[in-house]
């Protein structure tokens, strides 16, 4: 196994050994309490695994023996850590339940196959003997994609793909690679880098998520402007199903009827398990240029991104923070420090030039061959200048790149202090972007006030444009709020529903890259239409007639 799973938190993010410096910074907690209208923040420690409520496994001994016969004794695990680690994903409300020691959804056993044939044998057994199956990559789903939902079935196993982590072949001439689906991001990129290649799929969860999960949730890495989304780089796949193997084969392009690959990307484990995939690659970039700009407002920053993508400028990432996100992260970095003369002068200069409370930071990232990078960076600088932006240089861009995977580590210390922190994302056309942005912001703000634990308390809403296309862009919202202790799940549901209803009412997709899972099901029928849902049901019936695959996900 490429990653030492037993060193990961079963109820939080990343390595157990990682102790984030934030936890002990009392000045930051005092500042955050003030920002959220709270007198102080309470300590809310998580329960230990020994004190958690873990139900007894329901797997009959003869079934366990059949699983062992397929994957060997080492491949069937049912000790508490394994079952707890695989009970839920890593969304905010998953963490609420895990931290409270609620392991009602733990699987009866976790099974680790090593080859496609073993996966096929497991799924055939599950279908014959009525065992629900949750396919599991890194478990970083934030939409309830790996929740241990057994539906109407008496037993539940999680099939963890992490022992299937080989890169089978790299075709440097065609720039493709075939890899097993359980490979983690860093191991995949290391194997490709050895041949001077990259997939370029770098989600914020990169360190702890897998190729199969990226495909199954149809994800987008932070550099998807250049490297594409999962469905763009996926060239072929093997899908093990209860009915046998669906092998799409790999062609650079084909007109042989509808593309079956597009049924696999985004299938969230409900049709079968992706065991191996062929990927389109890029040359590892020879150069990269990440630099920051300050725009006077969100509209002019968005206009810069729109111009760049519509004019065909090569970009890897154009990330525009709204005014609140820009201010919040600056203040967060300086929390507890008194303003120096230099920082006051800087602010006075910015205010005088019109970069006051509405100012928005943008990071423009460009990767590729040196001349392409140099010319695109200078092209974007021109666009930004025309729109009145202030160039801030490479320091801030470089710091963002260096810390791009650190953000999720801040969530656990925040949850230890009675705070809620969640994210959601959507996408829409440029013409609807402003209205969608305003509506979701307002919905989040109102719902956080309504559910706040005391009068006057409230949340903060931060947003950025995360990915951009010629016809539109995605909006990524982070919201932080004081938890209504004791009623936290209801509070989360109220906030989530308000924001999702606003998305649906204003022409946004219910997800740009997180997927549907269980959490977005209520909005799925509206987005796909009844006929669309019927098509998905028909495909499921063809591949998984008993319905054992990932019950309760994707199809309402």
Ligand X SMILES: Cc1cc2nc3c(=O)[nH]c(=O)nc-3n(C[C@H](O)[C@H](O)[C@H](O)COP(=O)(O)OP(=O)(O)OC[C@H]3O[C@@H](n4cnc5c(N)ncnc54)[C@H](O)[C@@H]3O)c2cc1C
Residues found near ligand X in the complex (CB under 6 A)? 89-90, 134-142, 145-146, 161, 181, 203-205, 209-210, 212-214, 216-217, 219-220, 222, 268-269, 273-274, 408, 513-515, 550, 553
Q: Kindly give, in sequence order, each residue whose CB lies less than 8 Å from that of residue 168, ignoring residues fewer than 6 positions away.
A: 178, 179, 180, 276
Q: Which is nearer to ligand X, 140 or 198 (CB)?
A: 140
Q: How many helices (H) and strands (E) does the chain have?
A: 19, 18
CA angle 320, 482, 332 (to 5 degrees): 45
* Closer Cβ to ligand X, 176 or 474, answer by number: 474
Q: Which is nearer to ligand X, 339 or 402 (CB)?
A: 402
Measured from the CB atom, the residue of 109 and 273 that comes closer to ligand X is 273
Centroid of chain to Cα 99: 20
Closest approach, Cβ 514 to ligand X, in A, equals 5
Residue 35 CB, shortest distance to ligand X, in Å, is: 22
State which residue, 327 or 513, has the beta carbon closest to ligand X: 513
Nearer to ligand X, 136 or 437 (CB): 136
Cβ 120 to ligand X shortest distance, Å: 13
Q: Cα separation of 407 and 464, whole Å?
A: 14
Q: Minimum Å distance from CB 322 to ligand X?
A: 18
The DSSP annotation for 75-116 comes to GEE-SHHHHHHTSS-SSHHHHHHHHTTB-TT--SEEE---SH
Ramachandran region of residue 470, left (φ > 0), alpha (ψ -120 to 50) or beta? alpha
- For the chain, the straight-line distance linking the first and the last C-alpha, in angstroms and rounded, comes to 35
Are the C-beta atoms of residues 377 and 391 closer than 8 Å to each other? no
Q: Report the residue number, 205 or 468, with the smaller CB distance to ligand X.
A: 205
The distance of closest approach from Cβ of residue 500 to ligand X in the complex, given in angstroms and rounded to an integer, is: 17
Residue 276 C-beta-side C-alpha neighbours within 13 Å: 22
Q: How far apart are alpha carbons 274 and 291 in whole angstroms?
A: 38
Q: Which residue is nearest to ligand X (CB)?
A: 213
Radius of gyration of the chain (CA): 24
Return the closest-CA partner of residue 263 out of 542, 552, 547.
542
d(CA 355, CA 361): 10
Minimum gap (Å) between residue 223 Cβ and ligand X: 10
- In the bound state with ligand X, the residue whose beta carbon lies nearer, of 459 and 515, is 515
Identity of the residue, 188 or 498, whose beta carbon is nearer to ligand X in the bound complex: 188
Shortest Cβ 320–ligand X spacing (Å):
16
User: Which residue, 522, 541, 480, is CA-closest to 242?
Assistant: 541
C-alpha dihedral, 300 to 302 to 303 to 306, nearest 10°? 170
User: Are 513 and 217 in contact, with CB atoms under 8 Å apart?
Assistant: yes
Q: How far is the CB of 408 from ligand X (least distance, A)?
A: 3
Least Å from the CB of residue 224 to ligand X: 8
User: How would DSSP label each residue in 392-417?
Assistant: EEHHHHHHHHHTTTTGGGGHHHHHTT
């Amino acid at each position: 196994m490429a990653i030492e799973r037993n060193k990961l938190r079963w109820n939080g993010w990343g390595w157990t050994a990682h102790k984030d410096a934030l936890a002990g910074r009392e000045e930051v907690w005092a500042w955050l309490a003030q920002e959220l209208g709270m007198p102080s923040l309470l300590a809310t420690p998580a329960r230990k695994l020994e004190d958690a409520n873990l139900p007894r496994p329901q797997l009959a001994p003869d079934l366990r023996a059949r699983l062992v016969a397929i994957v060997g004794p080492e491949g069937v695990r049912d000790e508490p850590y394994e079952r707890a680690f695989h009970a839920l994903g890593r969304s905010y409300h998953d963490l609420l339940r895990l931290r409270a020691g609620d392991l009602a959804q733990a699987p009866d056993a976790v099974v680790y196959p090593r080859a496609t044939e073993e996966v096929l044998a497991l799924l055939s057994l599950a279908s014959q003997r009525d065992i629900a199956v949750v396919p599991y990559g890194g478990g970083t789903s934030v939409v309830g994609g790996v929740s241990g939902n057994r539906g109407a079935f008496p037993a539940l196993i999680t099939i963890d793909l992490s022992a299937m982590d080989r890169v089978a072949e790299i075709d440097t001439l065609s720039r493709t690679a075939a890899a097993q689906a359980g490979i983690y991001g860093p191991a995949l990129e290391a194997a490709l880098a050895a041949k001077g290649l990259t997939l370029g799929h770098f989600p914020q969860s990169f360190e702890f998520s897998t190729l199969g999960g990226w495909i199954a949730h149809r994800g987008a890495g932070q550099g998807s402007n250049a490297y594409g989304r999962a469905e763009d780089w996926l060239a072929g796949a093997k899908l093990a199903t209860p009915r046998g193997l669906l092998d799409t084969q790999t062609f650079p392009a084909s007109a042989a009827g509808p593309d079956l690959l597009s049924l696999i990307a985004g299938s969230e484990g409900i049709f079968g398990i992706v065991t191996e995939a062929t990927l389109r690659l890029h040359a590892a970039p020879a150069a990269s240029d990440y630099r920051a700009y300050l725009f006077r407002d969100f509209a002019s920053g968005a206009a810069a991104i729109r111009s760049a993508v519509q004019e065909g400028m090569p970009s890897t990432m154009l990330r525009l923070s709204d005014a609140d996100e820009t201010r919040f992260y600056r203040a967060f970095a300086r929390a507890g420090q008194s303003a120096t003369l230099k920082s006051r002068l800087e602010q006075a200069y910015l205010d005088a030039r019109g970069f006051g409370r509405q100012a928005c930071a943008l990071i423009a990232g460009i990767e590729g061959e040196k001349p392409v990078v140099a010319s695109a960076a200078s092209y974007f600088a021109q666009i930004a200048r025309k729109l009145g932006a202030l160039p801030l240089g490479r320091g801030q861009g470089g710091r963002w790149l260096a810390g791009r995977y650190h953000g999720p580590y801040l969530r656990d210390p925040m949850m230890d202090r009675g705070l809620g922190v969640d994210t959601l994302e959507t996408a829409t056309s440029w013409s609807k972007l402003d209205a969608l942005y305003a509506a979701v912001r307002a919905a989040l703000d109102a719902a956080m006030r309504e559910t706040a634990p005391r009068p006057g308390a409230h949340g903060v809403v931060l947003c950025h444009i995360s990915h951009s296309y010629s016809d539109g862009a995605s909006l990524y919202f982070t919201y932080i709020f004081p938890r209504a202790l004791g009623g936290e799940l209801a509070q989360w549901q109220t906030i989530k529903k308000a924001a999702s209803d606003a998305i649906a009412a204003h022409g946004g997709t219910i997800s740009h890259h997180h997927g549907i899972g269980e959490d977005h099901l209520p909005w799925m029928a509206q987005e796909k239409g009844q006929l669309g849902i019927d098509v998905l049901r028909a495909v499921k019936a063809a591949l998984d007639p008993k319905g054992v695959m990932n019950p309760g996900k994707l199809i309402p």
